[in-house]
Structures are given as C-alpha cells and as structure tokens.
Chains A and B, each alone.
Chain A
C-alpha cells in the first residue's frame, strides 16, 4: 500500500539526525589537494602585474594558475548560457578576468596546496598590481553619459532591456481620480544557505574525462556549462551533486570558481577541492534583489486601479549569472507588478544594468518579491488616499475565479485560483475585524500596532514556452524521470531534479508508490548524478513538483501499463481490466485472482519460473519520460502580519502572522507546510534584516553574519497557516510549485504592517528592509518635514 503523508519515513531526516549526511565538504578522494582563490581588492581595475614566485616556495604549495594560462583553453559563457536571449545584450564572460577586474571579490587566480591552510598561506604570498579605474556602483552612475563601461564590446552598461505591456495607459491616466507616482528602492540581498558553495574537480587524463562534485541544484545544466567551457563532449563530464545544505536559488550554474577548479585539476593531474568560507559567500556568490522601481498608478475614486506605468531598473552587478539571469529580475518584477488584479492597462520598461558589484542571480522569490511589494504597497496607499480598508481596495480589483484562465496585460496566463477567496479566508483566520479594533485601542493608548496584508500570485514551474515568450531560447525547461523495476520488484526512480531540502526522496518515492500501487518501502529515488539520472532542468523556479513530478507520473503510467500487460500471462491471459494495489496485480472484476508485482517484474527479466515471455515483448522494465510544463502555473496566497513598533528605538516586533496558501493539489502536506513556513521566515528576514551594503568605491561592508543579519528563532513569531487547493488545469495531477511563495508574501505583509503602524507619523515606506535604523530615520525625517 502507498502510505499517507504522516507515516512515510524520510530517508533524508534519518541520516541527517545521525550526522550521516554527505555534503560536499564531507567527501575525501585519494590524492586530493585543496584550492583557494586570490580575489580582486578593487571594484574596477586593470591588472598590471601578478607575482606568484614566493607563494610557490611555501612547503606544500603545488601550483598557481594565472588568467593568461587559462584564457586560451576556455570558451566564454554568454549571459543566457546555455540558451540565448533576444533582449539580453551579448558579451563574453570568461571564468577568469581578461585583463580587468570588475568587482571586489572577483576570482583572479587559483592556487593549489596539500592542505587548505597552506593554500591560504599562498594567497598571502601573492601580489597583484592593479591600476584602478572609475567604478560605477549604482544604476545612476552606470547610466550616466560617459560612464566607464564594464565589458569589452558593449557600448554602455545596459545588459538587458525590454519594453512590454498592453491596453491604453494614456487613456487610463486621463480617466484617473488619483495618480500616484512612487519610487521604490530595494536592497541587495543574498540567500545565505548554511552550507556555502563547494566543488571537487577530478580530471582523469587517461579517459580525458572530468568529474565534478558540486553543491548544486541543477547537475545537468551544470554539466552543459562545464562541457562547453572546457571544450569537452557532454559524455566527457560527470557532475555529482551530494547532499546540499540549503540553496534558495544561488547554487545554480556558471560560477567561475568551478571552471577554474576543473582547469586546475587537469593541469596538476589530481583531484582538488574548494569550499568557500562565509566571507567568500557574501562577497562573490550570487547577490539579488537590488532594484529601483518607478511607478505611476492611475486609480478611480472607488479604489479601482485603471492603469500602471513602471520602470524597473535592476542593479545587476558586474555579470549575468547563469541561464536567464540577464532578464531574470527585470522581467519577473515587471510582470509581477500587476499582481492578482484586473489591471487592463500596463506599460513596463525593464532594464538590467551592470555595476561594479557582485553579479546578481536568483534568490528565493527573485523578482516577484519586488513586483508584489510595489503593487501591495500601492494598494495600501490607495486605501489611505480614499480612506478605505486595505482589504476592500484589493477586493475591488481582484480577478474573479470565473475569469480564469486569465491572460494578464503583462504577458502571463494565470491558470487557476480564487484570489478573493484566499483573502476572505485570511480575514477569517486572522479575525481581522477584531485585530482592527485592537489596533484602534492601541492607537488610543499611544501604541504603534500595525496590520499588513499582502495578496499575490506567484509563477512556478517555467516551461520552454514561457521562456520563448520571454525571448529566451535554447534553455532546457523539461525534467525527466527514469523508473526501473528490478527482477525482484524493487523500484528506482532516477530524476533530473536535485533536492536541496525539499525531501524529494520521500515525496517522489511516495508518488511512485501511489501511481504504481506498490509499498513505499520498495521505492528509492536517485538524484544528483548525471551518469545515473536522465537529462533535465533541475531544481529551481519552484518547479520540481510540477516538472519532475509530472515526468514521474508519466513514467509510472507507462510502467504500470507494461506490468499489467505482463501480468496477463500469470492470470490465464485474462482480458478484463486489471489494477495494482498493495504490491499485487489483480483482476478488477474478481480481485481474488491476483499475482504479486514482484513475480510479474521477474518475468520481464526472463527470471520467472512460471512465465516465459513471447519473443515480441521487449525485455526489462524501464521507462524514461520527461515533462515540460506547457505554461507557468500560478500559486496564490494572502498573508497578514501584525507588528508593534517602538518609535523611540525603531524596533519592529512581529506579534502575529497568518498565511492562506494555495499551491494547487498538495502532494505532501508536511513538506508543503515546511516550505511555506520556512519561506515566510526568509521573507521576514528580507523585510526586516537582510541588506548587503557597499561603500562608494564598491567595497562590501557586510562580509560576515554579524553584518548581514538573517533571522534567528527570536525573530520569527508563530505562523498560522491555512492550505487551500485550486488544482492547475495545465499540470499532471493539478500540482503547482510552492517553494518560494512564502517569501513572496512575507516581504510585503511585514512591510505593510510596519507602514500601517507608522501611519500616525505620515511616513512613506518605499525602502525595505524596515529594521530599527530605517524605521527610526523614517520617523525622524517625517517629523523634520512637518
């Protein structure tokens, strides 16, 4: 029997609580040595000299590899690699700087030594001569006439531009009773998985074959990048992803360190390991979220939004990282600004702009968090302008359930959901009217209690069609599953996804067990090895439940069909309908006639004493299927936060938190609850704490976890959740993704609550994070303006 969510064992948890996980840094290979990177001290500089002789004299030093040595042997990576984008401006990114560094922390040289400590000693003994040049450290500097450009072959620093929308915004603004013009500034943030990046590269000269162990969410896409850059066929590269200690978007593909390590292993003919430290993680792993968004909003007197014009300026940092990243934030934010609302007139100019800072990449909810922040702050501002309740303004604008599927003016097709219903449920769950009364009493006592609502739709599971709509081609967006039943009836499902904490080993095993009617304990999931799994996109864009889950369902259906076909030989060529349950194939009309799944499986391998298959039946029991989501599917939700602000200190205390979540059909309630609550905690961190800061010269000021703050147990209140299910018409089983939704909702619910608490001060909140410093400053500024 397949089992319910509550009583399936979780293999991941079982090994982790014993300390038996196998993370990248837990792997030791015979003969392995250790790498470290010399990183740029300047935001923008020519490299005029490299002095490595002293480093090579240190006992235990093995090698130093300079850019000159690497460059002739590698191919560059283009912004949308392995695909290409119609709207991204192409330039060549090499894994080492070709003469010029473009951000502080950029890897320049890699060294190898017998121990990690000696490798770090070598870094101290290497000198780089720089000729610094003017750095551009924000989008205004980058766009200024005559600004220095970052990359050769580009006329300016605009790496992505697209203008899109629909309807008639001019008419909308002519009819407006209220026009709001607002500028939002979003801070630079980064995912901070507890385990940083790590790579082991091992090049086998005899086989001309590279094996790379890497903490990644996308083994197959990583392999494509390694093969391209290293000029190897894909079969010449094997990527292995061990247990991954958190990811949240940033362990994708295309990091130069991994390429340099591969090159190094080839040169010294030894396996070599590199594990980044936390400072490297904060300095040179992907950053995200830094944007300025300028909007004009036209609204009617009843709160209806008539139209929006937006300009999204993404501070991309010095490079585009991995697939889609040139347009990742500009497009995602631009498309998210219309929210779950019937906004018929929209125009967006979306820019990706290069600056001399760490390259930007994905981070949970990337792009969506800012788009939702903009529209949800706007909803509250409209409510304030017309003295309406924030919930009422949203109700006035929601797309209604009967209108779905609904094509938005921003170019997306919302599939299913009940947006007003989600808000309605939230208001009940949180006892909203009582909260407002409590707020009135608090205000009368001079206390600053705030209530913030955030309603959102969130795209998940992007397929190739959606990438094409965004002008991105050649990027694999399908996932695959190979299900194999062995002669004793044990089952493996090898998948292209890679769990980074989403419990694929139990969720997908349970799915296989349910689809095939076999015991959960007979199914094992295999992930994270390009030699053992079929090609596919990997984990990301909240896609695994949909795309890998879809591939598993299709493969399981094929396996089931074949098992039923073979079972007929055991059941006197029974022609009636058969089914499988509890590991037994049975005749539906006469369930007493049955044969075990395992006995049938044996026959597929000519390992059965009872049945010899006819020659025309293909031997073995193995099927590979893939699933490319035909459309993005949209989860939706409504969040409510209650905060208390102490104006004298600026401290924000979260008191209550409520979530209504709709991710379509739920595959595993425990895991979905875990994803939602964990993502809300991350969104709370985004809203209140997390900010990477640079100085004017492009030096990172927040290089430790004492400067870049993430939430602790003291920062997270009790989170009450209510799950509701609107199956998607576009996916196998009606499922949607869920990994990022919590973050998307929380970022703005918390900010709206702080804004609500501060209404008596007439502050305007357009810049998260709203930690003590910013709150205090906003209050002071508002008081100064009076």
Chain B
C-alpha cells in the first residue's frame, strides 16, 4: 500500500470485500481487475455508452465515472449478481427469448439499467422504456428487441435481487 492507496470496504452482489485500492482507480476498473467481475464492460470510459452500468445502493450508475474509493461503504450489484445461482431472473430470460443481444457487449449495462428502471417504473409504456434506456448504446440490435424484453418483463412479477446467501 502506497500513500496513493486507501482502504475500501464494500458489498458487491451480497458479498463483503475489504481491499486497498489506488485512489485514481475507477470503480469499473476495481470491479474488473481486483474482484474479477468482468461482466461490467467498458465501452467509452467517458460516461456516454452505459456499458459499465451497475447498481449503487440500488441506483443505476456508470462505474467508469466513479472512483473505487467513492464506493467505500456502498452496496453494489453487478450483472453477475442478477441470477439466483443458475436461475436467471425474468429480465435475463426475456433478453434471451427476444434476441435482445447480438455481440453481448452492451448487455450487462442494459440489464442493470433496465433493472433499476423497472424498480422505478414497474408498469412502463413503450415510450418510457425507450427513454429509460436512451443512455445505453447498443450498436447491434437497433434496440427494438431490448425494448420488447423490458416490456415483457414488466408484465410479470416484480424483479428482486437474489437472497444474499446465494448471491
């Protein structure tokens, strides 16, 4: 640990971590490099594309625009934390069923954005879904199947995060 390092203690996908981290390290890099949670992707590193979106105390945030030290004490969820063990949640299943991904690089960020959106807007219109994901770029699908997947999920039971012991 150098003078440019700080200790952080945080919860990710229900698991507690304590780690020394360089103060200049972004939260996205910390999750990917230190915790090996590589499902969080980096598409632009300037907050435009949304691929790095995670849940930060329940809110969708861009992990490329935060430093890891800012996450001290926070409760985070990444794409790896959506499924209960091997069982995908309804949103993940809907993405599969609707062919809502091609290369899959934007998918983790889309799922996290959509998850938070559906918490805030449980019964959205199509226009609301479009707006809800407008900060996440997908270069492959043209968005229509993603929008369908989110609308389909909204018709079912509310999404919940896995219980902690299995997360």
Residues of A within 8 A of B (CB): 10, 12-23, 25-26, 117, 191-195, 243-248, 277-278, 500-503, 670-671, 673-675, 677-682, 704-706, 710, 712-714, 716, 718-719
> A245-B43, A714-B131 known; 19 other A-B pairs, CB under 8 Å?
A17-B101, A18-B88, A19-B82, A19-B108, A22-B38, A23-B105, A26-B32, A246-B103, A248-B139, A501-B140, A502-B102, A675-B102, A677-B142, A705-B49, A712-B134, A712-B143, A713-B138, A713-B147, A716-B143
Name A682's contact: one of B99, B101, B139, B146 (CB within 8 Å).
B139
A19–B40 CB distance below 8 A: yes
B51: chain A residues within 8 A (beta carbon): 194
B143–A10 CB distance below 8 A: no
- Interchain nearest-CB distance for B9 vs A (Å): 23
A714–B137 CB distance below 8 A: no
A364, closest chain B residue (CB): B139
Q: How far is the CA of A503 from the CA of B103 in the complex (A)?
A: 8
Q: How far is the CA of A26 from the CA of B38 in the complex (A)?
A: 6
A193–B96 CB distance below 8 A: no
- Interchain nearest-CB distance for A32 vs B (Å): 11
B160 within 8 A of A: no
Interface residues of B in 121-147 (CB under 8 A from A): 130-131, 133-147
B137–A14 CB distance below 8 A: no
Among A246, A671, A679, the most chain B Cβ lie within 10 Å of the Cβ of A246
A713–B101 CB distance below 8 A: no
Instruction: Evaluate whether A14 and B96 lie within 8 angstroms (CB atoms) in the complex, with A278-B44, A674-B141, A678-B142 already known.
Output: yes
B111, closest chain A residue (CB): A17
Q: What 0/1 readout, one digit per residue, does chain B (148-165) give for beta carbons within 8 Å of chain A?
A: 000000000000000000
- Interchain nearest-CB distance for A157 vs B (Å): 32
B107 within 8 A of A: yes
Instruction: Evaluate whether A193 and B139 lie within 8 angstroms (CB atoms) in the complex, with A20-B39, A117-B24, A278-B43 already known.
Output: yes
Number of contact residues on B: which range applies?
35 or more
Among A191, A671, A681, the most chain B Cβ lie within 10 Å of the Cβ of A681
B25, closest chain A residue (CB): A117
B30 within 8 A of A: no
Among A21, A23, A248, A679, the most chain B Cβ lie within 10 Å of the Cβ of A21
Instruction: Evaluate whether A681 and B79 lie within 8 angstroms (CB atoms) in the complex, with A18-B92, A194-B137, A246-B105 already known.
Output: no
Name A710's contact: one of B40, B42, B134, B137 (CB within 8 Å).
B137
- Interchain nearest-CB distance for B59 vs A (Å): 19
Instruction: Evaluate whether A194 and B95 lie within 8 angstroms (CB atoms) in the complex, with A19-B79, A712-B137 already known.
Output: no
30 A-B pairs whose Cβ atoms sit less than 8 Å apart in the complex: A12-B101, A13-B95, A15-B104, A16-B107, A17-B92, A18-B39, A18-B82, A18-B92, A19-B78, A20-B39, A22-B38, A23-B41, A26-B32, A117-B24, A192-B139, A193-B103, A194-B41, A194-B103, A195-B41, A195-B43, A246-B139, A247-B103, A503-B102, A674-B141, A678-B140, A681-B141, A712-B137, A716-B143, A716-B144, A719-B144
Name B142's contact: one of A243, A502, A719 (CB within 8 Å).
A719
Q: How far is the CA of A104 from the CA of B129 in the complex (A)?
A: 40
A245, closest chain B residue (CB): B105
- Interchain nearest-CB distance for B22 vs A (Å): 7
B38: chain A residues within 8 A (beta carbon): 19, 22-23, 25-26
A710, closest chain B residue (CB): B137
Q: How far is the CA of A479 from the CA of B32 in the complex (A)?
A: 36
B105: chain A residues within 8 A (beta carbon): 21, 23, 193-195, 245-246
- Interchain nearest-CB distance for A289 vs B (Å): 16
B35 within 8 A of A: no
- Interchain nearest-CB distance for A542 vs B (Å): 15
Instruction: Evaluate whether A117 and B42 lie within 8 angstroms (CB atoms) in the complex, with A194-B51, A677-B142 already known.
Output: no
Q: How far is the CA of A673 from the CA of B142 in the complex (A)?
A: 11
Q: How far is the CA of A375 from the CA of B153 in the complex (A)?
A: 44
A278–B45 CB distance below 8 A: yes
Q: How far is the CA of A674 from the CA of B146 in the complex (A)?
A: 11
B132, closest chain A residue (CB): A713
- Interchain nearest-CB distance for A749 vs B (Å): 14
Interface residues of B in 66-89 (CB under 8 A from A): 78-80, 82-83, 88
A195, closest chain B residue (CB): B105
- Interchain nearest-CB distance for B167 vs A (Å): 13
Q: How far is the CA of A713 from the CA of B140 in the complex (A)?
A: 12
Q: How far is the CA of A682 from the CA of B133 in the complex (A)?
A: 17
Closest 9 CB pairs of A and B: A19-B39, A245-B105, A16-B104, A681-B142, A501-B103, A501-B102, A19-B79, A26-B38, A705-B48
B142–A680 CB distance below 8 A: yes
Q: How far is the CA of A26 from the CA of B37 in the complex (A)?
A: 9
A15, closest chain B residue (CB): B104
Interface residues of B in 1-31 (CB under 8 A from A): 22, 24-25
A19, closest chain B residue (CB): B39
B135: chain A residues within 8 A (beta carbon): 712
B95, closest chain A residue (CB): A17
A680: chain B residues within 8 A (beta carbon): 142
Q: How far is the CA of A675 from the CA of B22 in the complex (A)?
A: 42
Q: How far is the CA of A704 from the CA of B83 in the complex (A)?
A: 34
B99–A670 CB distance below 8 A: yes
Q: How far is the CA of A277 from the CA of B26 in the complex (A)?
A: 14
A23: chain B residues within 8 A (beta carbon): 38, 41, 105
B147–A705 CB distance below 8 A: no
